[in-house]
Amino acid sequence: MNRRSLQHSKLAQIFLRPLSLLYGVIARVRVHAYASGWLTQGRLNAAVVSVGNLTAGGTGKTPMVLWLAEKFLAKGQRVAVLSRGYRGAHGTSDEVALLRTRLDERATIAISANRFAAGAAVENGEAIDIFLLDDGFQHLQLARDVDILLMDASRSLTNERLLPAGLLREPVSAMTRADILVFTRAETQPGVSAAVSHLAEYPVFAATTKLLGFRILGDKSISLLNASQIGEGPFFAFCGLGNPQQFFRDLETWRIATNGQRVFGDHHRYTAADVAALERAAEQSKSRAFVTTEKDAQNLTGVTLRQFPVYIAIIDIEVSQETDFLALIEAKIASKIAQRLAAAAGVPS
């Protein structure tokens, strides 16, 4: 960011600060209204595990939902994902399309702004053991058994402001509502994993991003290419993510040489004009191919990059102390179910 842009950003924050204060008041009142029972939460029959964050922008929620879905499915549990389908159309979005691509028919995916209604409709049609509530920390309309809050280790929240002046959806103090805290992208801050390992008595874990391989855009084959198979590059990298710089840092970590980069807005749907601009930029930078993310690949539908191949980075996450993490989720679900059964039987808690 140049000096003039930085000055404009600071001025914008000053003018938006009153709106941030108002936003904070509304957020706190809303949380209190649900906590006190003034507003009621819908309750599904199956267990609900929420995955969310405090900021606008990516912290790895979709990769975590995918990871959890795979773990529950591997145990023989029937899984459904509840998503808002942010900035999507016709019952889908880039994140929903990614979930469907990865999970195929093994899990049900329901999209609605009203996640309770969507979940109830799913339960009317099939038996479900676990609902995964994607981006659910602020979606208080639906009761949950476990609240997993993700914090991006590569981004400091020190001095961060509430929307619209900053990125925070809620004050940092809201993290006390979480049952489990996960620091994602822990590989960017080596001290995070070490610190978390000494907090065994607390529900805090670390997660790192892992490269599985690359797929060529348009290639439906299951097999992935490793870094050596896609060639030495140089590549032109582009993405439309909440935290685009982290993708570029990941490419450096994976030793993927780039000659140029282009950032689009989060959830950006690519047009023919975008494609033409990207191909001109890649040609000018003397790149030999493109590299982008799985989420961006979903937003390239309907357009074609003909001049250079497009390699899609396929990632997964690894959670520290995985066995303990999953056991804690199961224990919290069991505890909430026991509480509900006791309440239904009239047994005082």
Q: Helices 61-74 and 94-103: crossing angle, nearest 10°?
A: 20
Domain assignment present for residue 216? The answer is yes
Domain assignment present for residue 34? The answer is no
303-325 mean pLDDT:
95
Residue 71's pLDDT is what? 98
Please report which confidence band the pLDDT of residue 3 belongs to, taking 50, 70 and 90 as the band edges. very low
Residues 214/315, Cβ–Cβ less than 8 Å: no
What is the residue whose two structure tokens read 């209204």?
33
Residue 5's pLDDT is what? 45
What is the residue whose two structure tokens read 């982290």?
246
pTM higher than the cut 0.85: yes
Please report which confidence band the pLDDT of residue 6 belongs to, taking 50, 70 and 90 as the band edges. very low
The domain of 323 spans 39-207+318-344
Residue 154's pLDDT is what? 87
Domain assignment present for residue 27? The answer is no
Question: Are residue 162 and residue 263 in the same domain, yes or no?
Answer: no
Question: What tens digit of pLDDT does each residue of 249-301 get?
Answer: 999 999 999 999 999 999 999 999 999 999 999 999 999 999 999 999 999 99
More confident: 61 or 6: 61
Question: Are residue 76 and residue 101 in the same domain, yes or no?
Answer: yes
Residues 266/242, Cβ–Cβ less than 8 Å: yes
Question: Are residue 136 and residue 76 in the same domain, yes or no?
Answer: yes
Domain assignment present for residue 1? The answer is no
Residues 180/149, Cβ–Cβ less than 8 Å: yes
Mean pLDDT of the chain: 91
DSSP calls for 289-308: EEEEEHHHHHTTTT----SS
Residue 57's pLDDT is what? 78
Among 290-299, 312-321, 335-344, which is the least confidently predicted range? 335-344
Domain assignment present for residue 156? The answer is yes
Tell me if residue 309 falls in helix, strand or coil.
coil
DSSP calls for 40-81: PPB--SSEEEEEEESBSS-SSHHHHHHHHHHHHHHTT--EEE
105-112 mean pLDDT:
96
CATH number at residue 190: 3.40.50.300
Residue 221's pLDDT is what? 75
**Rounded CA separation 254/266 (Å):** 23
Question: Are residue 308 and residue 325 in the same domain, yes or no?
Answer: no
Question: Are residue 114 and residue 202 in the same domain, yes or no?
Answer: yes
91-111 mean pLDDT:
91
- Backbone dihedral angles phi then psi of residue 229, each to the nearest 5 degrees: -75, -20
43-72 mean pLDDT:
95
Domain assignment present for residue 30? The answer is no
Question: Are residue 68 and residue 145 in the same domain, yes or no?
Answer: yes
Q: Is the pLDDT of residue 313 over 60?
A: yes
Residue 14's pLDDT is what? 78
Among 7-21, 28-42, 53-67, 156-170, which is the least confidently predicted range? 7-21
Question: Are residue 43 and residue 141 in the same domain, yes or no?
Answer: yes
306-312 mean pLDDT:
95
Residue 7's pLDDT is what? 43
Question: Are residue 116 and residue 184 in the same domain, yes or no?
Answer: yes
Question: Are residue 62 and residue 135 in the same domain, yes or no?
Answer: yes
Domain assignment present for residue 162? The answer is yes
Which amino acid is located at 310 in the chain? V
**Rounded CA separation 50/67 (Å):** 13
Question: What tens digit of pLDDT does each residue of 157-200 get?
Answer: 888 999 999 999 999 999 999 999 999 999 988 777 767 776 66
Domain assignment present for residue 284? The answer is yes
Question: Are residue 57 and residue 196 in the same domain, yes or no?
Answer: yes
Question: Are residue 220 and residue 293 in the same domain, yes or no?
Answer: yes
Please report which confidence band the pLDDT of residue 2 belongs to, taking 50, 70 and 90 as the band edges. very low
Question: What tens digit of pLDDT does each residue of 205-260 get?
Answer: 999 999 999 999 988 777 899 999 999 999 999 999 989 999 999 999 999 999 99
Number of domains in the chain: 2
Residue 23's pLDDT is what? 95
Residue 87's pLDDT is what? 60
Question: Are residue 306 and residue 332 in the same domain, yes or no?
Answer: no
